[in-house]
Each structure stands twice: as structure tokens, then as C-alpha cells.
């Protein structure tokens, strides 16, 4: 059985030696906007999220990975403050 996993977009682009600029052109968005998505400063539309997932053969799932990351950060912060 083949195991599928997800990675963040920055890791994905590094793994295929593609620049943000090149990927932005493929996705037909500005490189500034794509960079903001990669660094978590902007959240893409549902349509763009789906297009990124399709372009990366499902290895990158922007919406779900961002949500998990934020939730995990909140849980970690709450646990840290509870221990203080």
C-alpha cells in the first residue's frame, strides 16, 4: 500500500527545485501573493487552494494544513501558559 502524506508549500517547492516566482506564474497569481500564502500571512481562496492541491498532486493541502497549524499553536500556547 502506498502512503500519501502532505507537506507545506515551501517544502514542496524546495523538493522540486521550483521558485515561488515560477510556481506563481503557473498558478497565475503574483509572486508577492504566493509568498504571503507560503508564509501564512494570507489565506488563498477555496478555488486557489484546490488548484494548488491539484498542481501538487495532492501533496499540499493549504486549507487543512493551515488550520491544523493554527490549532496546534493555540493548544501549545495554552499548555505553556497553564504550566507557568
What would the pLDDT profile of 15-27 be if each residue is shown by its tens digit? 999 999 999 999 9
What would the pLDDT profile of 70-84 be if each residue is shown by its tens digit? 555 556 556 655 655
Which residue is associated with the grid cell 497549524? 69
Nearest to 38 by CA among 28, 46, 49: 49
Residue 55: phi, psi to the nearest 5?
-65, -25
User: What gap in Å lies between CA 39 and CA 2, rounded to an integer?
Assistant: 30
List the chain domain ranges.
9-83
At residue 66 the predicted structure's pLDDT band, cuts being 50, 70 and 90, is: very low
Mean pLDDT of all residues belonging to the chain: 78
Options 1.10.260.40, 2.40.390.10, 3.40.190.10, 1.10.760.10; CATH for 9-83 is 1.10.260.40
pTM of structure: 0.66
pLDDT at site 53 = 92
Amino acid at each position: 500500500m502506498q502512503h500519501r502524506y502532505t507537506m507545506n508549500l515551501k517544502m514542496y517547492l524546495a523538493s522540486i527545485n521550483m521558485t515561488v516566482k515560477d510556481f506563481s506564474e503557473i498558478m497565475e497569481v503574483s509572486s508577492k501573493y504566493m509568498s504571503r500564502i507560503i508564509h501564512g500571512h494570507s489565506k488563498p481562496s477555496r478555488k486557489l487552494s484546490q488548484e494548488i492541491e491539484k498542481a501538487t498532486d495532492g501533496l499540499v493541502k493549504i486549507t487543512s494544513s493551515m488550520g491544523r497549524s493554527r490549532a496546534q499553536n493555540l493548544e501549545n500556547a495554552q499548555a505553556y501558559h497553564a504550566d507557568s
